[in-house]
Amino acid sequence: MTVRVLFFSLLRDVVGAEELEWELPDDGVTVSALLGQLFEKWPGLQEWDSKILVALDLDYVDRDTELADGQEVAIMPPVQGG
């Protein structure tokens, strides 16, 4: 299965990309499992782990949410006002 992963703000700099296509082994993979894979590839991303917000197809989700083929996963730092 393939998901589209979008990175916002400072997280773009950590990963070096705004978006990418990410291959996952099978159905039943959770947001948490995806984050674990991303942290392995980009260890600097894990420094944001406790603050990261995740949206799935434009809705904020918990890390135990299962992913499906073709979904869009947005990974964002905390929302800041100003």
Tens-place pLDDT, residues 48-79:
999 999 999 999 999 999 999 999 999 999 87
- Residue 26 — very low, low, confident or very high, per pLDDT cuts 50/70/90? confident
Closest CA to 63 of 37, 31, 35, 36: 31
Q: How far apart are CA 56 and CA 26, in angstroms?
A: 17
Closest CA to 15 of 36, 44, 40: 44
The pTM assigned to this predicted structure is 0.91
Q: Quick one: tokens of 55?
A: 């949206």
Tens-place pLDDT, residues 30-56:
999 999 999 999 999 999 999 999 999
> What kind of architecture, by CATH, is found in domain 2-76?
Roll (3.10)
Find the mean pLDDT for residues 11-36: 94
